[in-house]
């Protein structure tokens, strides 16, 4: 078993390397892959010193699995080339998510859809992953009619330069501006690019990807994405209208029983999820679960997760684990 990580020197790629080590994935070789400017660099991984190689070299090594986190352009060009030599690609970009011929996978929900012929598998957007996992039991048991989503997304979701912008502003140091405005002491209702509809691309991903993962195009969804001055961890306030009546305690039990989800919901002792405590953890945390008294069969909840781990790297590695366990690679 050879596993390549494409984008190994990037922010998410680095977390992928950590998760592969932590989860003790058995492999003959790990192949770190990056752009030409990083070829030849050495990285330390699992008590080994590994040399970063380019995409063509990695392709010639024919790894069984290649996990991509190098942007949509690289994925569109190179994922089909790897697939053509028999490699199964798990892609963390937006390149293949809405391709009707590709599966969009959160393992706890729909990994069973995967087969040997799935050579390019899409990893969903970080904000989508945590929400669909937190709500998966509600969709299964009641059916979801409508979602109203407000996100509070950390700067690490934009990338390392956004983290540097926030840190520079806190130090009162002038530097590169990734966002159109300062992010420290501010909130930007702007995630991705604006569309003609008035929504942004990040907001539209929540709509399209949720429907695809659940296999239900009838779910009505609206979203507002906000970038906040938090280094890591995405938060979401979600209003859920269900198709059937429910009891709040029943809902809490369902959420608490969902694999990969931890219920933190005790207002009496100020227990609720926060990005500060979700960082570097693989679980999705849910709290503030309560009935919406203004709408029949509706409730509100608060969802938090580390966007670099379950929102990206961990989910991708879990897909790899599933493929290995089911002998699909």
Residues of the chain by 3-state class (helix, strand, coil), percent to 5: 35, 25, 40
234 annotated active-site: yes
CA distance 12 to 40: 20
Count Cβ atoms within 10 A of the Cβ of residue 290 and give its class: 0-12 exposed, 13-18 middle, 19 or more buried.
Answer: middle
Cβ(61)–Cβ(54) below 8 Å: no
126 annotated active-site: yes
Phi then psi for residue 104, to 5 deg, are: -110, 110
Cβ(242)–Cβ(144) below 8 Å: yes
CA distance 260 to 325: 18
Cβ(23)–Cβ(316) below 8 Å: no
Long-range pairs for 183-189 at CB < 8 Å and ≥24 separation? 183/155, 183/227, 183/228, 183/229, 184/229, 185/229, 186/229, 187/152, 187/226, 187/227, 187/228, 187/229, 188/226, 188/227, 189/224, 189/225, 189/226
Cβ(151)–Cβ(236) below 8 Å: yes
The upper half-sphere exposure of residue 203, i.e. CA atoms within 13 Å in the direction of its Cβ, equals 22
Of 44, 126, 187, 190, catalytic: 126
Residues serving a catalytic function are 126, 234
């Amino acid at each position: 078993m050879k596993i390549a990580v494409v984008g190994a020197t990037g922010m998410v790629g680095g977390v992928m390397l950590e998760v592969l080590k932590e989860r003790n994935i058995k492999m003959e070789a790990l192949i770190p892959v990056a752009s030409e400017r990083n070829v030849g660099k050495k990285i330390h991984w699992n008590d080994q010193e590994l040399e970063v190689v380019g995409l063509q070299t990695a392709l010639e090594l024919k790894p069984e699995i290649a996990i991509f986190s190098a942007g949509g352009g690289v994925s569109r060009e190179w994922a089909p080339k790897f697939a053509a030599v028999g490699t199964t690609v798990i892609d963390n970009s937006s390149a293949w998510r809405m391709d009707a011929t590709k599966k969009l996978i959160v393992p706890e929900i729909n990994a069973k859809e995967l087969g040997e012929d799935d050579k390019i598998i899409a990893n969903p957007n970080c904000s989508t992953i945590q929400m669909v996992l937190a709500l998966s039991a509600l969709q299964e048991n009641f059916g979801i009619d409508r979602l109203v989503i407000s996100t509070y997304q950390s700067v690490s979701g934009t990338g390392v330069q956004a983290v540097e912008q926030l840190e520079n502003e806190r130090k009162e140091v002038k530097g590169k501006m990734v966002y159109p405005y300062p992010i420290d002491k501010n909130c930007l209702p702007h995630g991705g690019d604006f569309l003609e509809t008035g929504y942004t691309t990040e907001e539209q991903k929540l709509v399209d990807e949720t429907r695809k993962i659940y296999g239900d195009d009838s779910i009505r969804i609206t979203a507002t994405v906000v970038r906040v001055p938090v280094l890591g961890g995405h938060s979401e306030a979600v209003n859920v209208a269900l198709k059937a009546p429910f009891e709040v305690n029943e809902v809490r039990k369902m959420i608490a029983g969902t694999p990969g989800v931890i219920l933190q919901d005790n207002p009496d002792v100020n227990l609720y999820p926060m990005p500060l405590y979700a960082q570097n953890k693989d679980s999705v945390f849910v709290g503030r679960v309560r009935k919406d008294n203004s709408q029949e069969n509706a409730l509100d909840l608060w969802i938090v997760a580390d966007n670099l781990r379950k929102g990206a790297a961990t989910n991708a590695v879990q897909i790899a684990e599933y493929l290995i366990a089911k002998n699909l690679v």
